[in-house]
Chains A and B, each alone.
Chain A
Amino acid sequence: MSDLTRLGAAELAEKLAGGEVTSVDVTRAHLERIGEVDSRLHAFLHVGEESAMATAADVDARRAAGEDVPTLAGVPVAVKDLINTTDQPTTAGSRMLEGWVPPYDATVVARLRAAGLPILGKTNLDEFAMGSSNEHSAYGPTRNPWDTDRIPGGSSGGSAAAVASHEAPLALGTDTGGSIRQPGAMTGVVGMKPTYGGVSRYGVVAMASSLDQVGPMARSVLDAALLHEVVAGHDPLDSTSIDAPVPDVVAAARRGDVSGLKIGIVRELGGEGFQPGVQAAFDGAVEQLAQAGAEVVEVACPSFRHGIAAYYLVMPSEVSSNLARFDAMRYGLRVSPEGVPDPSAEQVMSASRDAGFGDEVKRRIVLGTYALSSGYYDAYYGSAQKVRTLIARDFAAAFEQVDVLVSPTAPTTAWRLGEKSDDPLAMYLEDVCTIPANLAGVPGLSLPVGLADDTGLPVGVQFLAPALADDRVYNVAAALERLVAAPVLEEVR
C-alpha cells in the first residue's frame, strides 16, 4: 500500500492545495492499489483509468495556473455502478444492462466532475441494488477486505470494500433499506444516507423511488461530510429534490461535540437476536457518548419492529413498477424466445426479462406484482403504507424527547458467502435496524466503532436524526469517532 492511499480525503485535499502532491500521483496510486488487490475483492466492475487520469491532469494544470479550485478537486472517488456515467458503462450489476453506456450523467456525477474529482471506476453491487450481501451481483460477488471468505454487505458492497481496502478514499453508494449503512458497518467505513430528497436521484437507476437515496462512504466522518457537500442540494431534474439549503455537514463533522445533547437508544433495535459482540461494542460506544457529556436515555419506537414487513411490501411494489422500463425495446438486453418463429414484442419482452434479470430481482418483481394486484392491494400495499405512517409517527415522538437516536447498524457482523443464500427471508431480516429511516425519509449514518470481541470483524453504530437535520448525525458521529478506536485494516486478508 502506498502512503498516498493511506491518506483520507481531507488530508489529500490539504496536500493537493499545498502543492505537496499532484492529483496525477494520487490518482495513479489508487489505480495501482486497485490493480494490486481488486482481483481478490472484485469491488470494481469497471475501472476508468483513462478518464480518471485525464481529470487528474486537468485539475493539476488548473491548480498550477493559479486557478481557485473546489476543496476536493483532485481527490479520486469510486461510484456505485447504479449511477449513470457517460464515459463508463453502467450495468446496475445486471445482465440486463451489460455494456450499457448511458447517454447522460447523473446529477451527482455531474457535480463530482464540476468539483474536479477523478472517477476511478464503477463499483460492484447486488443486481439493481437488491440485496444485503453483494452475492446477487450478476458479475460475481465482492468480498470483504477484512476476510475475503465473507460478504462486504450490500447493496453498496463494492463501494464499501473499495474504501475499506484503500482502493479509493471516497465512494458514492445508494441506500434504499440500508444499502450504504449496512456495508459501511460490515467493512468498517463511514456510510451516510442523507435525508430523502437531500441528494438528487436523477440518473440513478431507480429501485424504489420513495426510498432510494445517494450518499457518501469514506474512512472518516469529515471525509464523508466533504463528499456529502459536493453532491447534495436541490436539483430541478428530480421532482422529489428538496428546495432548501443543505445543512452545514462539514462544520458539524469538524465540531463533534455532544455535551448537552440528548441521545435516545432505540429499545426495539437491540438485545435478543443481536450478536453478543455487536451488542457489546454498541453498549461500549454509548457509554463513551455518556462520558463525553451526552444525556443518554432509552426510547420506545414500537412500530419499528414492523418495518421489515412494511418495507418488503412497499419496496417490491415500487420495484415491480420501476423495472417495467426494462422492456427490451429501447435499451438493454433483447433476446428472442427459443423455438418461436417471428416472435411478438411481448414474447421478446418476456424472454428478455427472464434472461436479463437474476433470481432476487424476479422474486421482488413477482412479490410486488402480487402486492399491487387487484383484490390484494388494500391488504398488502395499502396496509404497508399505513405502517409507514406509524413508523414516521414513532420517529416524530422520539425526536420530541431526544436530539438523535442510536442503534447498532446491523444485528450481526459480516457473514460467510453463501451462508444465507438459500433463505431470502433470513437475509431480509438483516435490514431490521436500517429500514425505518428509509420508510420515514430521515437521515442515518453508520460509524465504525471497533471490532466485535466474538468475531473480530467490524461493528457499526447508527445515528438517526429528523429530516433535514443531517448535520446532527455528523456532529454526534464525529464526537464518537474521536473516542473509539476505529478499526484500521492493514492489509486485505
Chain B
Amino acid sequence: MSSALSREDVAHLASLARISLSEDELDRLGAELPAILDHVAAVQGVVESAGEDVAPMSHPVPVANVMREDVVRPGLTPDEALSGAPASEEQRFLVPKILGEE
C-alpha cells in the first residue's frame, strides 16, 4: 500500500480529530508523516509472511466485562465534578452552542 499522504489528507485527518492545525503545522505534518508511515507499514509484510492467519491481540490480559455489584457507592459531588470546568451554571457544564442557528 502506498503511504503517500497529501496535505489535504492531513487537513482532513486533523478535522476528524477536531484540531484546527495552522498552515505551518499542516506543512510540517505533511512532510513528517510519510516517513513514519513507511516505517510502520512494514507490519503488513510481517503478517503476510507469517504464512497463517494470526489472531489479533488487542490487550495483554485476557479479561472481559469486569462487573461489580450494582450498589450505590460514594462518588464525586457536583461541585467536585465541576471543579475543573471552563464554565458551569446550575450544576451543569456550560458549553458553547452545539446547533446551528439557521
Contacts and interface: CB of A to CB of B under 8 A. Distances in A.
A385 B80 contact: no
Contacts of B66: 239
Contact of B42 (A306, A390, A428): A306
Interface extent on A, as a size class?
Answer: 35 or more
Contacts of A456: none
B90 to A, nearest CB: 16
Given A369-B16, A425-B39, A383 B47 contact: yes
A249 to B, nearest CB: 19
B4 to A, nearest CB: 12
B52 to A, nearest CB: 10
A424 B13 contact: no
Contact of A342 (B5, B32, B97): B97
B56 A346 contact: no
Given A100-B84, A328-B86, A390 B50 contact: yes
A349 B97 CA distance: 11
Contacts of A385: 56-58
Judged by DSSP, the binding face of B is loop
Contacts of A346: 18, 98
Given A239-B63, A329-B86, A441-B61, A389 B55 contact: yes
Contacts of A441: 59-61
A353 interface: yes
Contacts of B18: 324, 327, 346, 349-350, 353
A280 interface: no
Given A350-B18, A363-B29, A389 B54 contact: yes
- Top 10 nearest A-B pairs (CB, nearest first) are A441-B60, A331-B84, A385-B56, A334-B86, A103-B80, A350-B20, A239-B66, A383-B43, A386-B54, A388-B57
B17 interface: yes
B46 interface: yes
Interface in B55-102: 55-61, 63, 66, 68, 76, 80-81, 83-87, 93, 95-98, 100
A303 interface: yes
14 contacts: A239-B63, A309-B39, A313-B40, A320-B17, A345-B95, A345-B96, A348-B96, A351-B20, A370-B33, A383-B44, A383-B47, A386-B43, A386-B56, A425-B35
